Each structure stands twice: as structure tokens, then as C-alpha cells.
Amino acid sequence: MAIDRNESDQDNDELEGCLAESHRHSTTPIPLVDLETIKRTAAIFRALGDPSRLQLLSLLSHGEMCVSELTERLSDNLPAISQRLKLLRAERLVSTRRQGKHIYYSLADNHIASLIENGVAHGSHAGCTHS
């Protein structure tokens, strides 16, 4: 009878089996990212970690939209959408453009667009097995 080992046990075995003496480590210098950049990046990923905010960003990846259009497309209420947009603006993930009484929202830049596109693409493959 085969014994099923959980992933945590396998991870522990790998850590215990990885000794510096058992193989050579690369001597190529790898620069560390400065702590402030790491903190800002972590804040971006926290903002992206909410499904409602991510859905909103996914819509904006198709072009700029005003709050009423986002509210209609997401079938959600205006205060909820506005609160999400406020957080996304604070993290500099979305930018705004005013036209008369309307404020239009769009993704802040191509980095954010790529992040959303790649994240959604990776998420769509989550159930697939990779060889």
C-alpha cells in the first residue's frame, strides 16, 4: 500500500537534504532589491489580492471607464466601486482623467496592464497540470 505524503513533508525533506556541502552554489552576484521597493511591491500585490478589485482592474485593462460604467458592468453599488478605486489610486494602480462632470479611470501604466494580463492568464491555467 502506497503512503501519501503531504506537500509539507516533502518540502521539509528538501530543506533538510539541501546542505551547502553537498553541491556548489553559484558565485554570481545577485543584487537584492531595496527594502522600500519590496514594501511598495508587497502593497501592490495586497491590492491585487482582492477578487473584487482584481475584477475591476481586469475591466480597466480593456480601456478607460467612468464609475457608472464600472458599476453597471460589475452589477455592484457605487460606494463599493468608489472605495475600491480609492485604494487602487492610493497604490498608483489606476489613474484618472476628468471630462466635465465625469472622471474616467484607467490602468496607471503598461506594467500594471502586463501584471493583470499575466496574472489572469496564469490563473486560468491553475486547474491544468503542467509537464
Range of the domain at 104: 35-118
124: in domain: no
Angle between helices 51-60 and 78-90 (to 10 degrees): 80
Q: What local confidence, expressed as pLDDT, does residue 1 receive?
A: 47
Stated pTM of the model: 0.75
Per the domain annotation, does 16 fall within a domain?
no
Tens of pLDDT along the chain (131 residues) come to 455 555 555 556 566 667 767 778 888 999 999 999 999 999 999 999 999 999 999 999 999 999 999 999 999 999 999 999 999 999 999 999 999 999 999 999 999 999 999 999 999 986 666 54
Domains: count for the chain: 1
What pLDDT score does 93 carry? 97
What pLDDT is stored for residue 14 in this prediction? 61
71: how many CB neighbours lie within 10 A of its CB?
Answer: 17
Question: 125 in a domain, yes or no?
Answer: no
Contact between 97 and 53 under an 8 Å Cβ cutoff? The reply is: no
Output the nine-digit C-alpha cell for 83: 472605495
Which three three-digit cell numbers place residue 1?
500500500
Radius of gyration of the chain (CA): 21
